[in-house]
Amino acid sequence: MGRIRCVPLGAGQDVGRSCILLTIGDKNVMLDCGLHMAYNDDRKWPDFSYLSKSGNFNEVLDCIIISHFHLDHCGALPYFTEVCGYDGPIYMTHPTRAICPILLEDMRKVVVDRKGESNFFTSDDIRNCLKKVIPVSLQETVQVDEDLEISPYYAGHVLGAAMFKIKVAGQTVYTGDYNMTPDRHLGSAWIDACKPDLLITETTYAVTIRASKRSREQDFLKKVHECVMAGGKVLIPVFALGRAQELCLLVDEYWERMALKVPVYFSAGLTEKANQFYRLFIGWTNEKIKSTYMERNMFDFKHIQSFERHVADEPGPMVVFASPGMLHAGTSLDLFKKWCYDPKNMIILPGYCVPGTVGARVLAGEKIIETEKGQKYHVNLQVKNLSFSAHADAKGILQLIQMAQPRNVMLVHGEARKMAVLKKRIQMEFGIPCFDPGNGSTVTIKTEDMLPVALSNSAFQRVLDAKPAPGWSFEKVKPFSGLLQSDENLNCPRLLDAKEVEEELGLTPVHIRQRLRRPFDVKKALAMATDQRFPVKFEDERYAAMTLLTRALEHLARSMGLHFNVPRRYLEIRVGDVCVLLAPSGPSVIIQWLPDSEQLAARILAVVNSTLQ
């Protein structure tokens, strides 16, 4: 039995400094190496000391994988390679390799040149770091060494973002950030049914179900239009690549349609470079962009011009897209300080803001913002949060789990309270283990070893003709009961089915009914039943647990299309071929099943555990 170990060095029950240490067998892979935007001290870096107290990271790590160019996923990479001394291979996609150094240098200028911090990387560090990068293409399988291979999948989110499948003895999929909804310039994330032992997924919007994209776009344009018509200035903080292009496309089309003359500016200084990247990596965009590209580059905006700093002080309405997106530094923060006093003005925050950043504090409704230098700014402008974030919402996360069909799920890159809600939902709906570790906590997954066997044609045909096993959550799996027999004429054991065991070995198969007793806390069950307002007074307090289970298991049966029955109220529940009984004495339930229903029994046990925890 193999093992997969996972330790978040960052982004464990938190959004920021994504960095996961993945250990499969004797292989160690670092998944992302990000910076925390809310901190200015050493907490901005992942906890690299966990890897090696001596600082010899080359002996520990086999490779680093970077999912995309956002700084909370790649911002600590030059520090780790050039300051800490890691010298091994780094893998990322071609667009990520092209864009990373520009964003890293922009961040360095803000932190070092403007703020005067010393514990940071240099421009030379960025260049030297990127020399170690090995770019990869979508659907390419890269052999890192004899045993370790990686494969990138399209993630949407931003140009070049990828999910990665890491394969040694077991398989793990790491999503990075992804989007399951196609937008105006990128497609939706996709992965095949690779059935990994572990899926590590971001959970930025763990409990959010977004309104339709069309209604969000209409609401956004309405608010911008109303503000500028009333003479106000609209500040839209965005990161230079990604949502910036998405919203610029939207505003440019609207200005053209409405014949508006109010100036619109883009401040990031990356407009031209962004256009170059989209031309260079046109294959990463959606079908609409690709099909119209030869006639017109949709990123050559007609109504959006480059921003100059003096423009901020000019009278009259305007719209400015300014980076960065969380108001933690740069032009967007400078403009916010200038415009925040006037109630005619508006700030629209279209993406997620890490707790602790100015953007998060503004969204929380703080009326006085104090900066690091002790300056206080009164927030009188209108504040709007219209989610155009390119992260999957709760529905999208569940959709990806359904698509990949993992055996276990681990949640990262999210807020602890919201992750706990999603964790329970995943366990309930999919019946698989789900983990939400904090930074420095270890998750260990046991993986199944594969044993090749020989199967006769007649036995194989009987497998195909057999009834599907109830309870498998992703596909119809054929049940098989048999016996392994060593065979000197074959390179592997022979697998005999029940008919062959009886005919060739003279053995009569015996069906064994399996039972598992699961105790529960009566007082907790009563409290939960009271919270859920069951209109019943229980003759036996233990009946509260069976009442809760009846509702939960009926939901499971309905979602799986299985027969559900309660032959004896409060005493017995049947889902398919599995029976859940109230123990004759004591606060326990008994789950009873035949070997062919093993998968269903496992799912029911997961529901029982989550219901009676």
What is the distance between the alpha carbons of residues 108 and 105, in angstroms, rounded to a whole number? 5
Instruction: Identify the helix (H) or strand (E) that includes residue 524.
Output: helix 522-531
In 183-263, DSSP assigns E strands to 198-202, 233-237
Query: Half-sphere exposure of residue 284, counting CA atoms within 13 Å on the CB side?
Result: 25
Query: Half-sphere exposure of residue 198, counting CA atoms within 13 Å on the CB side?
Result: 27
Residue among 34, 65, 194, 55 nearest 142 (CA): 65
For residue 392, the SS3 value is: coil
Residues 6 or more apart in contact with residue 598 via CB below 8 angstroms: 469, 471
DSSP codes joined into one string, 219-235: HHHHHHHHHHHTT-EEE
Instruction: Identify the helix (H) or strand (E) that includes residue 335.
Output: helix 330-339
Q: Has 488 been annotated as catalytic?
A: no
How many angstroms separate the Cα of 420 from the Cα of each of 66, 209, 411, 430? 26, 16, 9, 15
Q: Which two tokens stand for residue 54?
A: 């001596």
Q: Which residues pair with 136 in a beta bridge?
A: 93
CB atoms within 10 A of CB 8: 30
Q: Which two tokens stand for residue 53?
A: 């107290």
CB atoms within 10 A of CB 179: 21
Give the helix, strand, coil percentages of the chain, each rounded to 5.
35, 20, 45
Residue among 151, 208, 209, 163 nearest 190 (CA): 163
Residue in 105, 140, 146, 202 annotated catalytic: 202
Q: Which residues pair with 494 in a beta bridge?
A: 454, 485
How many angstroms separate the Cα of 279 from the Cα of each of 195, 284, 303, 355? 35, 10, 20, 35
Name the amino acid, one letter, at 191. Answer: I
End-to-end CA distance of the chain: 28
Cβ atoms of 16 and 36 closer than 8 Å: yes
Q: Within the chain, how many helices (H) and strands (E) appear?
A: 18, 30
Residue positions annotated with a catalytic role: 202
